[in-house]
Amino acid sequence: MTTDSAVTNTPPTTSAPHDGEGYSHALGNRQVGMIAVGGAIGVGLFLGAGKRLVTMGPSLIFAYAICGIAAFFVMRALAELVLHKPTAGSFVNYSREFVGPWAGFVTGWMYWLNWAMAGVAEITAVGEYMHKWLPHLPNWISCLVALGLLVLANMVSVKVFGEMEFWFSVLKVTAIVVFLVVGLGLLFSHAHIGHYTASPSNIVDHGGLFPHGFGVCLLAFQSVIFAFAGIELVGVAAGEAKDPHKIIPKAVNSVIWRIAVFYIGSVLLLTMLMPWSGYDAGESPFVTLFSSLGIPGIGDVMNLIVLTAALSSTNSGLYSTGRILRALADRGEAPKFTVKMSRRHVPYGAIALTGVVYLLGIALNYVVPSQAFDVASEISSLGVIFTWGMLIICQMRLRKKAMAGELERPAFRMPGAPFTGWATLGFLALVVVLMGFAGGSTAIAFWSIPVLLIVFFVSWRVISRRDRERLEVS
């Protein structure tokens, strides 16, 4: 019988027809590491933190910390699965191997739904950000140009994607580091910022840690998880990494301190430099802070950062959905053309399908009210929560099989398993339940769950019947 001390891998019990075949292992340590960083920093921090500060106050620090712990365990579960079998199909193949064929089907399409909905909002936002510099240029032109460049980059090769995401991440990380250094200097010098004085007392002097009550903090967990969406991208990139067994543990372990520093540290510093009530829900808190200092050109700088975050998210969406769709197409669970690979080892059919959805999103921006895009963002978070939960379940099944002697676990494992796995699943279930009480677009997304269940149930029945008929004919 295999025990927890086992450190080697045996071949997986199942495999997809291609199972990663045809991909080039061109992503190095530098690129995969920065992809992990970029996945943890996005518009959710640069822009979304302003709205959350206004509605939650300092309790946002608590929300980031709790959700960050869950994110860490999800990433450790993912790392164990990746080291068991690195594959570009990632979540689809793990769900199929450890839970069942239906789980791979649902997980793949839920993850695609996540990036499809998020990408629609992100690529549309690019036009809004560009409007600051080119006010007379129609937004749809900026969106089309940006989408065209990103699709082209993803079509050329995975190395081009990796380089773009590397530099996107460098810019985002540099911006946060600069803020932390400058912010600490302002705090220690008790600088006057607008009508306020930088001081740790700003955290509690304006209604305490929970100015709007603890319930508001609980209801915000879903939006905070959405802010963390993308950290799991490193699991997809592992299938094209040069040395995943060496790269992935480092990248995954770095996620927790990056969340602690970039999210918790930034919000903590923001609430000490200015009271939470001094920020604007419709503006990046970083812009609000530096504008209060009277620093010229800060609006342009932060606009560039937020634009970069939107481009990075769209870029990652094209990359990840391309690999996930091909994994689905391997089993006949996605359109046939999405399985096709180019000479440069790129799943161009799958990337093109997601690109078309993003293109439709640009068109819909002119006929659908902005509330619809809020709903799209909330629905996309369901994909994140489902994917995270499925990764935990897969890790638990992997561990169970290892204990039964059916396979051997990697040396890099999820700490505290299986208890941390059950705790994380319970937390994610709580987040979904709380969505029903949030109201607005979040509640609409919650009530879309039955619709999604029906669609997936019917679709899987059709696919299963088709496969049975093929077997009978053969």
Q: What is the pLDDT of residues 113-155, one digit of tens each?
A: 888 887 877 787 787 778 778 888 887 888 889 899 989 988 8
Q: Where are the beta strands (DSSP E) in 170-282?
A: 192-193, 196-197
What gap in Å lies between CA 354 and CA 335, rounded to an integer?
A: 12
Tokens 């994917």, located at residue: 387
Give pTM, 2 decimals: 0.82
Single-letter amino acid, residue 328: L
Tens of pLDDT, residues 381-410: 888 899 999 999 999 999 999 999 998 888
What gap in Å lies between CA 237 and CA 27, rounded to an integer?
A: 8
What gap in Å lies between CA 260 and CA 65, rounded to an integer?
A: 7
Go through the domains of the chain in sequence order and give each one's CATH number: 29-461 (1.20.1740.10)
CB 6 within 8 A of CB 409: yes
| Residue 100 falls in which region: left (phi positive, over 0), alpha (psi -120 to 50) or beta | left
Confidence at residue 7, expressed as pLDDT on a 0 to 100 scale: 36
Confidence at residue 474, expressed as pLDDT on a 0 to 100 scale: 64
CB 158 within 8 A of CB 329: no
Confidence at residue 398, expressed as pLDDT on a 0 to 100 scale: 94
Q: Which residues of 92-115 are buried (b: 16+ CB within 10 A; e: fewer)?
A: bbbbbbbbebbbbbbbbbbbbbbb
Tokens 């700088």, located at residue: 301
Query: What single string gives the DSSP state of each residue in 292-352?
Result: HTT-TTHHHHHHHHHHHHHHHHHHHHHHHHHHHHHHHHTTTSS-GGGG---TTS--HHHHH
What gap in Å lies between CA 419 and CA 236, rounded to an integer?
A: 26
What gap in Å lies between CA 27 and CA 305, rounded to an integer?
A: 24
What gap in Å lies between CA 198 and CA 188, rounded to an integer?
A: 8
CB 242 within 8 A of CB 26: yes
CB 424 within 8 A of CB 78: no
CB 54 within 8 A of CB 263: no
Determine which helix (DSSP H) or strand (DSSP E) holds 272, and give its type and residue range.
helix 266-273
CB 220 within 8 A of CB 267: no
Query: CA-based diameter of the chain, in Å?
Result: 79
Tens of pLDDT, residues 314-361: 888 888 888 888 888 888 888 888 888 888 778 889 899 999 988 887
What gap in Å lies between CA 444 and CA 446, rounded to an integer?
A: 5
Please list the pLDDT of the chain residue by residue as tens digits (474 residues): 333 333 333 333 344 445 545 555 555 556 666 665 665 676 677 777 777 888 889 999 999 999 989 988 998 998 899 888 877 667 788 998 999 999 989 998 998 888 888 787 778 778 777 877 888 888 788 888 989 998 998 888 777 777 887 888 888 888 888 889 999 999 999 998 888 999 999 998 888 889 888 888 888 888 888 778 777 777 666 666 667 777 778 777 777 777 788 888 899 999 999 999 888 877 778 888 888 888 778 778 878 888 888 888 888 888 888 888 888 888 888 888 888 888 877 888 989 999 998 888 777 666 654 555 566 677 788 888 999 999 999 999 999 999 999 988 888 889 999 999 999 999 999 999 988 887 776 777 788 889 999 999 999 999 888 878 777 776
